[in-house]
Amino acid sequence: MLRTTAERLAQRYAVRNPADLATIDRAQSWQAVADAGLLGLRARDGAQPFVSGVEVMLVAEALAGALTPPSFIGTILAEELLALAGVDAEIDAIAAGSARYALLLTRDLTQLADAESFNGAVGFDADAAGYALGLSRGRGGARLCRYAIAGVFSELQTPDFTRVCVGPATDKKRPEAELLGSAVTAEALDRWLALALTLTCADIVGVLRSGLRQVVEYSKTRIQYGVPVGSFQAVQHMCAEMLVKVEAASSMTRYAAWTVDALPPSESLLAARTAKAHCAGAARSVAETVMQAFGGIGQTWEHIAPLMNRRVMFDRKLFGDESHQLLCIADARLGAA
Amino acid sequence: MDYRENEQEAAFRKRVHDWLAENAPRNWQEEASDEKAAGRITRAWHRKLYEAGFIGLSWPEEYGGRNLGPTFEAILNDELGKADTPRISFHNYLGRAIFAFGTEEQKRRFLPTMLSGEVQWCQGFSEPNAGSDLASLRTFAELRGDTYVVNGQKMWTSGALNADWCLLLVRTDRDVPKHKGITCLLTSIRAPGIDVRPIRISDGAPETCEVFLDEVKIPADQRVGDPGAGWRIAMTVLSFERGPADIGMIATYDTALRKIEDLAKARGVAGQPEVRKALARAYVHGEALRLNVVEQLSQRSAGRMPGPEGSVARLLLTEAQQYINHLELEVMGADAFNGRATGTFNSYIRSRTISIFGGTSEIQKNILANQVLGMPR
């Protein structure tokens, strides 16, 4: 149901080539996503989220497949944080589409930033966002804090053209953080990170599945040597290898999404890191192979393939790349080095 | 989809687990010194599992099965893999051909003894000139009256040394396109004119065989399906062979990875970042395989037959298994070569068969490209 709604919206506001980025009505598409009820998915009914991690994952995947609208995973992850801290009024505003939050991440993009890591921090998924949401670590545990974006942050030129990131301007003093809600436990933050990794994987799976589908279609119509290039075994094997990577990525992401609400945080985090380790590898390899199989046209500024590459190469780093996850998995399996 | 087992499944797992703790053979690897001994061990173990009610779980009762869903087979295979037990007889995927395409009489004649393990089967598919191009097989069966007379040669017939019966693909018509002239016959392996010779594979084990057929007479009522229907039957068998039935491999893989992790600790290399990353990557490969298989299994439980997408799991299995064999060599270092741990190299070189047997990796990719992605031939 949710997935169908998401797919319908994705088709309506799809970015089909880079030129669409300049013409797409972001505000309107965002309101459409809000009106469809997709922005309040992790609001709580008592202690229970309205929908499971699996359903959120499916929505993220569907929207990512069309490269639009821009800020879904960042918004849902901000909402999850606000729910954990019990900041209900803001959740309602997010669900309605009227409040927009970016996630304030450390410079290495692996985790939420706090006051110490404010300089060089990155506000992720900041399209039309009023605040960047970070952490404040103190004796009573972690608290959420927000920074007003206007006047303090400016847009960063990241390689990903489909989403907006902002950073604190270097010539400005760090503004006072505004603390929000109650303290959030380390366990709750682990569970949140598992959701964050899972949605990043869903973003990768959505983009890669779409890229594979498009390049396979292209290979059936592009004629060279008098035959479709998709009839060449070299091209077929590239596509089959992509399929194996995407299917595995999808199975792993689905499981990680299920664990978010079903297993203890440490197990869920391991499942999410495992999925991300695979998805980060698949992201680069499949995005590059999509460009390769599109041939010369796939290398051009106007083509969708590099745009998808930009998106998933960013995702690859988001919340930690392959290498980062592998070392964390090793710690979980073997004990700390 | 819920990844937790339901009550009935969890109770079944516990029953299998407890039974194996009592009954699983120990130190059987040493006794399985040659192929004949290994065959005896397989047969005895299969019989014992059958008598305990653990074989044919997903088969209908009228043929000796238990009428349960495919998840129960998966649980059994998983527990067998964890307990590191001997192999059991091929029955699930070969039996599917007879079940799906055989007459009622054939099903009643062959399936109960196949499940019970009284009769062991092998699969006569490949030939010296029909490997990846299986459909070009040339072993010919000529119908004389109500008897087929078969001449030719089969290759890579695993388990033939210890088998009683063979599911054979033969050509019955040379005048139609190659896929349409193939027929499936069942024969006793001891029928006059059949000669089985072992083939030693790269680690020295006589794991598979070639089978010579010289004027072998097979009654026409041992034909499965119509004349010319053999290709479809073969594809059904192969999709079951490639599919989630391999789930036992996952438990075996987990056990093998744990051993390598312990080995890395014992050899003092478990702190090296490169080794840690490689061990973690092996875990990631194993999870990719496991979760893909679990997803396919849940579709099987919903009534879907295994299809060409089974090649995804097969390729993931190949990648994972060959990866940990490389990893074990790295962890063992020079000791794998200086005569102190020769077994490591043998299991490495044996792991090269995984990308060949049951359809090469290249064939699996052809299947995915043509049948799943719909790319032009």
pLDDT tens by residue, A190-240: 999 999 999 999 999 999 999 999 999 999 999 999 999 999 999 999 999
Tell which A residues from 83 to 112 touch B, by Cβ distance under 8 Å.
Answer: none
- Tell me: cis bond preceding A69? Omega within 30 of 0 counts: yes
Among B281, B298, B311, B314, most A C-beta atoms within 10 A, so best to mutate, is B281
Residues A255, A243: Cα–Cα separation, whole Å: 18
φ, ψ of residue A228 to 5 degrees: the values are -65, 140
Residue A228: which of B273, B295, B376 has the nearest Cβ? Answer: B376
pLDDT band with cut points at 50, 70 and 90 for residue B90: confident
Residue B283: which of A233, A262, A274 has the nearest Cβ? Answer: A274
pLDDT tens by residue, B314-323: 999 999 999 9
Token output for B134: 């299986």
In chain A, which residues have their Cβ closer than 8 Å to the Cβ of B298? none
pLDDT band with cut points at 50, 70 and 90 for residue A277: very high
Residues B221, B147: Cα–Cα separation, whole Å: 8
- Least confident window among A25-34, B34-43, B129-138, B276-285: B34-43
Which positions ≥6 away from B334 have C-beta within 8 Å?
none
User: Residue A268: which of A281, A255, A277, A279 has the closest Cα?
Assistant: A255
User: Residue A298: which of A227, A226, A238, A233 has the closest Cα?
Assistant: A238
- Least confident window among A236-245, B28-37, B277-286, B334-343: B28-37
In chain A, which residues have their Cβ closer than 8 Å to the Cβ of B273? 327, 337
| Alpha-carbon distances, residue B339 vs A182, B334, B347 (angstroms) | 63, 9, 15
Q: Where are any strands of DSSP class E within B111-172?
A: 121-124, 140-144, 147-155, 165-171
Interface A-B, measured as beta-carbon pairs within 8 A, has a size of: 117
Question: To the nearest whole number, what is the mean pLDDT of chain A?
Answer: 95
ipTM of the complex: 0.95
Q: Which residues pair with B135 in a beta bridge?
A: none
- Percent of chain B at pLDDT exceeding 70: 98
Q: What is the DSSP letter of B34?
A: S
Q: What is the DSSP letter of A14?
A: -
Q: What is the DSSP letter of B85?
A: P
pLDDT tens by residue, B282-299: 999 999 999 999 888 888
Residues A286, A302: Cα–Cα separation, whole Å: 20
Secondary structure of residue A29 in the 3-state scheme: helix
Residue B74 pLDDT > 90: no
